[in-house]
């Protein structure tokens, strides 16, 4: 059974708002029957047997939990992606000054982005967006003690998103009587290539190590290839290689057992169906002497099919970024300095669409506009358009802007009277040991939050030294000052203030970094945030 994926609240709300505008992107005709051979039958195939090893019952426990572990990692990746999406959406409202806003019909360079973007780069282009998460849990499997670690990390840079999912499961004591399995899956998604559908690469490495009765059995599997989405929504997998290896060892001696390598091409896979329902080409490249080629192919595709959700998730994620994420094209908004309204007030604002890679205005980009409780008129425009926003209901006052172009799409949620906080220029210095010797380095933090102070902040960190400098963006939810997480970290800490002085915030905030590879290893600096004085993204 294919695992059910969890969806973040932010992505659900945004998707509901976009149903109408993205309807035109939904394929309108059924996909053609794919070419090639049917997926090979895997009936009766047991991977360990094909690889000539007998790892024992702890190996069977690892096999039983694989699907659950992959599903956990995929959900964690979706959570990380939701954080990256929030950073992309927040970047839209780094508001340009009136002097930098383009005149109708003008085609300015990337300087039309705000001073914040100019200071640290364009998110997703030359300012990386970085997300990461980890979870560790203890349990029992088949009466045996087990520990599971699940990790996910993401990075969007130069309009390419790289996601790495990892799971490590241990059963018993892997060193003497137990098992350990690690799985690491990496996908790289090319989203904004002109004249082409989304595409990307994937790599999966799986290593099982089982020790019993003084002997260690190791099974290694590697799958790599490329995915290419077709206009009808089906997916081709190209250049897929599946490699399976086994070995045994005892007393410090390791003996290789079997090596299998299989080439796979998949044609017009409908991700709504199991990959085993499609067709393609399947060829044994290397196999042990005396092994039937069909058996080798069946073992390889059986092992590979366990990761179809990883590949499917990468395709879906790439298409979502293309259609609505603001990674390829981005709506820009100028509210002429107005960010607070009284009920019934009307204020004009300008909106236009830029190509992110060049900063050039897309003169014929369509814009759709709609209020939620509020009202926006007109409800559409082409190119740079002036809209009127009328505040209705209770604050915050929200409006939705969407665009769909051949280069990609974007949706932005505009919010007046937004609660929130911001800070800039919080810095500290330290020494990093490098191959060139000790190097003086500084980190400068800036951040903002749309909402209450202990919601998720958009934090940008600029690291500078005489050797190299770089900036990156992190979604960051503050931890309590009295209970910070252990280990190495770069986080925000907060403490509530019950009776703040007039004009002071109801909280205190600090940057907090622990890094064993620098001196001093711990830096904590108090921040003095100010109320947010701009339109915001919710």
Residue 373 lies in a domain: yes
- 394-401: average pLDDT: 90
* Mean pLDDT over each residue of the chain, to the nearest integer: 84
Same domain, residue pair 361 and 374:
yes
The phi-psi region of residue 532 (left if phi > 0; otherwise alpha if psi is between -120 and 50; otherwise beta) is: beta
Q: What is the pLDDT of residue 271?
A: 93
- 233-250: average pLDDT: 96
Q: What is the pLDDT of residue 89?
A: 64
Same domain, residue pair 270 and 402:
no
SS3 259: strand
How many CB atoms within 10 Å of residue 441? 19
pLDDT at residue 70 is higher than 80: yes
Residue 290 lies in a domain: yes
Number of alpha helices (DSSP H) and beta strands (DSSP E) in the chain: 6, 28
| Cis peptide upstream of residue 520 (ω within 30 degrees of 0) | yes
Q: What is the pLDDT of residue 112?
A: 28
Q: Comparing C-alpha atoms, which of 118, 115, 37, 129 is closest to residue 82?
A: 129
Same domain, residue pair 382 and 281:
no
Q: Is 306 exposed, middle or buried (0-12, 13-18, 19+ CB in 10 A)?
A: middle
Place of tokens 């080798």: 296
- 463-488: average pLDDT: 86
Most confident of 30-34, 76-80, 447-451: 447-451
Same domain, residue pair 406 and 434:
no
Q: Which of the four pLDDT bands, split at 50, 70 and 90, describes residue 108?
A: very low
pLDDT at residue 179 is higher than 90: yes
pLDDT at residue 385 is higher than 90: yes
Same domain, residue pair 196 and 118:
yes
- 230-248: average pLDDT: 97
- Domain end point (choices 295, 318, 341): 318
Structural tokens at position 275: 């990959």
What are the two backbone dihedrals, phi and then psi, of residue 299, each rounded to the nearest 5 degrees? -65, -40
pLDDT at residue 19 is higher than 60: no
Side-chain half-sphere exposure of 123, counting CA atoms within 13 A: 30
**CATH (domain of 391):** 2.60.40.2410
SS3 288: coil
Same domain, residue pair 137 and 274:
yes
Same domain, residue pair 389 and 290:
no
Q: Measure the CA–CA gap between 454 and 492, rounded to whole angstroms.
A: 10
279 touches 36 (CB < 8 A): yes
Same domain, residue pair 402 and 447:
no
Most confident of 70-84, 89-103, 117-131, 152-166: 152-166
Residue 10 lies in a domain: no
Q: What is the pLDDT of residue 20?
A: 29
> Is pLDDT larger for residue 126 or for residue 25?
126
What is the domain extent for residue 301? 35-91+111-318
What element of type H or E holds 372? Answer: none
What are the two backbone dihedrals, phi and then psi, of residue 520, each rounded to the nearest 5 degrees? -70, 160
Q: What is the pLDDT of residues 246-299, one digit of tens each?
A: 999 998 899 999 999 999 999 999 999 999 999 999 999 999 999 999 999 999
CA dihedral 227, 228, 232, 233 (to 10 degrees): 30
Same domain, residue pair 314 and 426:
no
Domain count, the chain: 3
Q: What is the pLDDT of residue 128?
A: 82
Q: What is the pLDDT of residues 343-369, one digit of tens each?
A: 999 999 999 999 999 889 999 999 999
Q: Measure the CA–CA gap between 351 and 386, rounded to whole angstroms.
A: 7
- 495-506: average pLDDT: 91
Same domain, residue pair 143 and 225:
yes
Burial 312-331 (b: 16+ CB within 10 A, else e): bbbbbbbbbbbbbbbbbbbb
374 touches 54 (CB < 8 A): no
- Domain end point (choices 297, 318, 339): 318
Side-chain half-sphere exposure of 145, counting CA atoms within 13 A: 5
- Domain end point (choices 387, 416, 445): 416
Whats the size of the chain, residue-wise?
Answer: 538
Q: Comparing C-alpha atoms, which of 167, 182, 174 is closest to residue 210?
A: 174
Q: What is the pLDDT of residue 136?
A: 87
Most confident of 13-17, 129-133, 354-358: 354-358
Residue 226 lies in a domain: yes
Residue 16 lies in a domain: no
Q: What is the CA radius of gyration of the chain?
A: 26
Q: Quick one: DSSP state of residue 62?
A: H
Q: Which of the four pLDDT bands, split at 50, 70 and 90, describes residue 10?
A: very low
Q: Measure the CA–CA gap between 139 and 145, rounded to whole angstroms.
A: 6
Residue 12 lies in a domain: no
Same domain, residue pair 433 and 500:
yes
Q: What is the pLDDT of residues 133-149, one digit of tens each?
A: 788 889 898 899 999 99
Report the sign of the C-alpha dihedral through residues 68, 69, 74, 79, in that order: positive
pLDDT at residue 504 is higher than 50: yes
Same domain, residue pair 193 and 51:
yes
Q: Measure the CA–CA gap between 270 and 238, rounded to whole angstroms.
A: 15
Residue 187 lies in a domain: yes
pLDDT at residue 537 is higher than 90: no
Residue 481 lies in a domain: yes
């Amino acid at each position: 059974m294919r695992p059910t994926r969890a969806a973040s609240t932010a992505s659900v709300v945004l998707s509901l708002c976009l149903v109408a505008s993205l309807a035109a992107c939904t394929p309108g005709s059924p996909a053609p029957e794919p070419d090639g051979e049917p997926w090979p039958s895997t009936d009766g195939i047991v991977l360990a047997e094909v690889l000539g090893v007998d790892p024992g019952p702890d190996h069977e426990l690892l096999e039983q939990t694989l699907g659950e572990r992959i599903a956990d990692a995929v959900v964690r990746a979706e959570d990380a992606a939701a954080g990256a999406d929030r950073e992309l959406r927040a970047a839209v409202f780094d508001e340009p000054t009136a002097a930098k806003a383009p005149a109708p019909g003008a085609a300015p360079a990337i300087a039309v982005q705000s001073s914040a973007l100019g200071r640290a780069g364009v998110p997703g282009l030359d300012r990386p967006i970085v997300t990461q998460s980890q979870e560790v849990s203890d349990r029992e499997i088949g009466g045996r003690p087990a520990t599971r670690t699940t990790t996910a990390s993401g990075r969007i840079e130069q309009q390419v998103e790289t996601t790495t999912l990892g799971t490590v499961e241990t059963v018993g004591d892997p060193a003497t009587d137990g098992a350990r399995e690690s799985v690491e899956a990496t996908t790289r998604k090319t989203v904004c290539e002109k004249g082409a559908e989304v595409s990307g690469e994937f790599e999966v490495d799986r290593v099982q190590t089982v020790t019993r009765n003084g002997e260690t059995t190791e099974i290694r599997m590697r799958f790599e290839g490329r995915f290419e989405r077709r206009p009808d929504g089906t997916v081709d997998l190209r250049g897929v290689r599946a490699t399976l290896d086994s070995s045994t060892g005892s007393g410090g001696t390791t003996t290789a057992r079997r090596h299998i390598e299989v080439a796979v091409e998949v044609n017009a896979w409908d991700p709504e169906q199991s990959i085993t329902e499609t067709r393609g080409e399947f060829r044994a490249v290397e196999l042990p002497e005396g092994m039937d080629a069909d058996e080798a192919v069946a073992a390889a595709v059986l092992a590979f099919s366990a990761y179809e959700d990883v590949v499917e998730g990468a395709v879906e994620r790439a298409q979502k970024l293309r259609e609505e994420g603001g990674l390829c094209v981005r709506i820009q908004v100028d509210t002429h300095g107005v960010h607070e309204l009284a009920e019934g007030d009307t204020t004009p604002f300008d909106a236009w669409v830029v190509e992110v890679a060049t900063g050039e205005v897309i003169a014929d980009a369509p814009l759709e506009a709609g209020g939620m409780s509020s009202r926006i008129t007109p409800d559409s425009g082409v190119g740079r358009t002036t809209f009127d926003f009328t505040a209705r209901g209770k604050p915050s006052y929200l409006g939705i802007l969407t665009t769909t172009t051949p280069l990609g799409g974007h949706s932005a949620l505009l919010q007046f009277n937004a609660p929130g906080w911001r800070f800039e220029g919080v810095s500290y210095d330290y020494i990093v040991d490098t191959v060139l010797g000790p190097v003086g380095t500084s980190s400068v933090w800036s951040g903002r939050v749309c909402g209450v102070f202990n919601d998720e902040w958009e934090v940008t960190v600029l690291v500078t030294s005489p050797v190299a400098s770089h900036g990156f963006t992190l979604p960051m939810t503050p931890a309590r000052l009295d209970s910070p997480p252990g280990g190495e970290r770069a986080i925000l800490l907060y403490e509530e203030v019950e009776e703040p002085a007039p004009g002071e915030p109801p909280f205190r905030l600090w940057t907090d970094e622990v890094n064993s590879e620098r001196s001093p290893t711990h830096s904590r600096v108090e921040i003095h945030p100010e109320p947010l004085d701009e339109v915001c993204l919710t």
